[in-house]
Amino acid sequence: MNIASLFSGGKDSAYAMFMAQKEEHEVKVLITVRSENPESYMFHVPNIDLTKMQAEAMEIPLLFKSTMGVKEEELKDLKDAVLEAMNRYEITGLVSGAIYSNYQRKRIDDIASELGLKSLLPLWKRKPKKMLKEMVDEGFKIIISAVAAGGLGPEWLGRKIDHKTIEALSCLHDTCYVCTAGEGGEFETLVVDAPFFNKRIEIMDAEKTWDGQSGIYVVKDAQLVEKEN
């Protein structure tokens, strides 16, 4: 099936796409929506512009759209982007990285249904710790790009997700529920390399912002570099 991937640049959307590819679906286009509202219910915000570099690394076309991020109204902007993907790339399916959010799943399913598309959610109800370990073992290179939960301080910003980090996140499970997945906004991620990247992203310059309770790892400069064999 020819599909579009709702792509945020983070671990879940990237791994969902990877899983869809393993099922022999062909990702014809990525769809990224940049929200002007940092509290968007639907869309990932930190370092969203880097999806353009990620798309280049994958050699997959990207539809990059913007929304004001008004609750519910932002769904029209998403629907318009998906409709454009249908018209330009003849997709018949839509893959997304929802794990536990019924809010996100229902709205994505509704858009797909309205447009006659198959909604693919390969990560739905997966066990977060096991799934993160799979990502690391499959060769995903992921860093933490934002934190907003008890137990996650500025020292977590920019931290690479490896098996040690996964164990540390698991230990925080009682402090911030579903911390291991981060789907509730406890933390955000950025994928800098994956099995389907033809080049990897090297961060040249970044800074940490911290307001006492939450923070962002702001990538100020990055470049694509050749992957080592």
CATH 3.40.50.620 fits 2-120, yes or no: yes
Distance CA 122, CA 25 (A): 12
% of the chain surpassing 90 pLDDT: 74
Kindly report, as residue ranges, where domains of CATH 3.90.1490.10 are found in the chain. 131-226
Query: CB of 21 within 8 A of CB of 30?
Result: no
% of the chain surpassing 70 pLDDT: 94
Return the H-helix or E-strand segment holding 36. none
Kindly report, as residue ranges, where domains of CATH 3.40.50.620 are found in the chain. 2-120
Model confidence at 178: pLDDT above 70: no
Distance CA 106, CA 31 (A): 18
pLDDT of 43-64, one tens digit each? 767 899 999 999 999 999 999 9
Query: CB of 159 within 8 A of CB of 165?
Result: yes
pLDDT of 196-221, one tens digit each? 999 999 999 999 999 999 999 999 99
Second CATH level (architecture) for the domain 131-226: Alpha-Beta Complex (3.90)
pLDDT of 75-109, one tens digit each? 899 999 999 999 999 999 999 999 988 988 999 99
Query: CB of 140 within 8 A of CB of 13?
Result: no
Phi/psi-derived region of residue 174, left when phi > 0, alpha when psi is between -120 and 50, beta in every other case: alpha
